[in-house]
């Protein structure tokens, strides 16, 4: 049988076709625009997502035996706010995960409602990108739109609804809304009351590997697939990527170097750090995970290369970098503010340590190292909970760089495993579809059989020691700059 994984990303939707043995038959990508109506705002039109998904599905299935398609599932950008009216029409453009307009609403949630109560209700505190403050923003700033809301959805779930007719979400994606009781895997009555919404306005919650229904007859006809094709709940992009990299079960780790950067630690037990520096979410495998998320990772390198240096030859720039662990230039990678572990939308990208002999290569090196150092900040929080990690998988566009992988291994002092298929959330979505259709008995079995490690970067003790010294310097820079970020806006 054949299974489809749909990764609804920030810049494009990526669609993957996989057979039951895990062989990837075809991959298709379709782009759509992103809008920045005001500084710090970030929006997309959900109709664009669906149009490009349908075009992508037609291209994906054009050369296969369509009668063999059994299931379709999703990974997708988290935290976005999609609001529908009584006719299930989109009311306004979706507010995305990297939208920073909800500063006042976050301040209200964290400091008036209180972080302790938020953590009690949802296992998390408020971040500007989360969905609950976005709902409050619409309530406060666009009351006429708030009054029209019949359904509140997340980005990938809008696609699932358009394909199945079911208003659904999954536990991992719902965990990032700040309306979900993560420990008990249900909507929080207290948070619904705080946001002024009802449970009827929220989607039904499923485990990531559960089918929500079948494709609508008109969708089946348009795509030429059986009406029995299951639409499966899927997962938020990071949980789906974790499935795709085999980061399921207890004590596994994955680092993602995408537009944003994450360190993802799977756990069979529910747990929260006392400062809520890491997100405590439900996982797609039926258990839980901790996640540190930085808003700008590979996008820092793209910004530096494309906008500042003015080159597309990333590899050539990295070739000039020779002396690891000896750079005197540091970079704070907070180009979009920062989430984990600082939770500061006012944080900004910062270079420090330049002298007259600083080179272009030093600056490039600082950008790559800055991202790795910032990921280490979240790893240190996990360590403080008694979590012991010795190795990690790695995925995302930035993971294709051997130099960056070497930096990650030595800055974090972890063994870094590369995997055969670098398809992240799209592959995870296809695997969840396969589990829902009975191809595998559970997510762990699918990961064990389908995810293959192709190589490992081992930390070098001497280099790791040099980077340990540099990290101790790096972690003092943000506290020193923090007061300035409140002034420089």
Question: String of b and e for 404-428 (b: at least 16 CB within 10 Å)?
Answer: bbbbbbbbbbbebbbbebbbbbbbb
Task: Report d(CA 82, CA 95) in Å as an integer.
Answer: 7
> Using an 8 Å Cβ cutoff, are 149 and 85 in contact?
yes
Task: Report d(CA 160, CA 192) in Å as an integer.
Answer: 23
User: Would the annotation count 79 as a binding residue?
Assistant: yes
> Using an 8 Å Cβ cutoff, are 311 and 454 in contact?
no
How distant is the alpha carbon of residue 273 from its chain centre?
Answer: 20
- DSSP labels, 291-335: EEEES-SHHHHHIIIIIII--S-HHHHHHT---TT----EEE--B
Task: Report d(CA 261, CA 97) in Å as an integer.
Answer: 13
Q: Where are the beta strands (DSSP E) in 106-222?
A: 151-153, 168-170, 180-181, 186-187, 204-206, 211-214
**Other beta carbons within 10 Å of 325:** 18
Residue 237 appears among annotated catalytic residues:
yes
Say which residues have a Cβ less than 8 Å from residue 465's Cβ, sequence separation at least 6: none
Task: Report d(CA 19, CA 70) in Å as an integer.
Answer: 10
Say which residues have a Cβ less than 8 Å from residue 14's Cβ, sequence separation at least 6: 6, 7, 27, 28, 29, 423, 425, 426
Catalytic residue among 157, 237, 362, 377: 237
Q: Where are the beta strands (DSSP E) in 377-467?
A: 391-395, 415-419, 453-457
Which residues are known to be catalytic? 237
Q: Which residues are annotated as a binding site for substrate?
A: 78-79
């Amino acid at each position: 049988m054949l299974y489809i994984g749909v990764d609804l990303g920030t810049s494009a939707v990526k669609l993957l076709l996989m057979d039951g043995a895990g062989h990837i038959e075809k991959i298709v990508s379709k782009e759509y625009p992103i809008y920045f109506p005001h500084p710090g705002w970030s929006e997309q039109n959900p109709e664009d997502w669906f149009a490009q998904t349908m075009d992508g599905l037609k291209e994906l299935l054009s050369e296969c035996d369509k009668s063999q398609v059994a299931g379709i599932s999703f990974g997708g950008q988290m935290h976005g706010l999609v609001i529908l009216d009584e006719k299930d029409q989109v009311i306004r453009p979706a507010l995305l995960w990297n939208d920073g307009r909800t500063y006042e609403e976050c301040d209200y949630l964290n400091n008036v409602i209180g972080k302790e109560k938020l953590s009690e209700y949802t296992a998390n505190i408020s971040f500007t990108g989360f969905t609950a403050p976005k709902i409050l923003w619409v309530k406060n700033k666009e009351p006429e739109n708030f009054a029209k809301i019949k359904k509140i959805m997340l980005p990938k779930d809008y696609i699932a609804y358009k394909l199945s007719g079911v208003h659904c979400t999954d536990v991992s994606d719902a965990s990032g809304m700040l309306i979900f009781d993560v420990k008990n895997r249900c909507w929080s009555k207290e948070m619904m009351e705080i946001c002024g919404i009802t449970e009827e306005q929220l989607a039904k919650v499923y485990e990531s590997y559960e089918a929500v229904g079948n494709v609508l007859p008109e969708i089946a006809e348009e795509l030429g697939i059986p009406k029995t094709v299951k639409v499966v709940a899927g997962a938020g992009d990071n949980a789906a990527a974790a499935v795709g990299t085999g980061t399921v079960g207890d004590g596994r780790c994955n680092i993602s170097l995408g537009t944003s950067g994450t360190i993802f630690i799977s756990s069979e037990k529910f747990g929260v750090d006392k400062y809520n520096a890491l997100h405590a979410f439900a996982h797609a495998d039926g258990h839980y995970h901790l996640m540190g998320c930085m808003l700008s990772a590979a996008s820092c390198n793209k910004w530096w290369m494309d906008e500042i240096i003015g080159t597309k030859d990333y590899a050539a720039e990295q070739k000039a970098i020779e002396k690891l662990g000896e750079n005197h230039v540091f970079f704070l990678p907070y180009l979009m503010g920062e989430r984990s572990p600082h939770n500061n939308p006012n944080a900004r990208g910062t270079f420090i340590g330049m002298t007259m002999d600083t080179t272009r290569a030093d600056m490039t090196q600082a950008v790559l190292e800055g991202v790795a150092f910032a990921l280490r900040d979240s790893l240190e929080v996990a360590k403080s909970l008694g979590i012991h990690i010795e190795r990690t998988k790695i995925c995302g566009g930035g993971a294709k760089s051997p130099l960056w992988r070497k930096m990650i291994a030595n800055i974090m002092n972890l063994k870094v495993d590369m995997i055969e298929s670098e398809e992240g959330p799209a592959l995870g979505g296809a695997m969840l579809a396969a589990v829902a259709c009975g191809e595998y008995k559970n997510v762990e079995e699918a990961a064990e059989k389908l995810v293959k490690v192709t190589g490992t970067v081992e930390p070098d003790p001497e280099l790791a020691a040099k980077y340990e010294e540099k990290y101790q310097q790096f972690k003092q820079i943000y506290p020193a700059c923090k007061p300035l970020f409140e002034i420089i806006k």
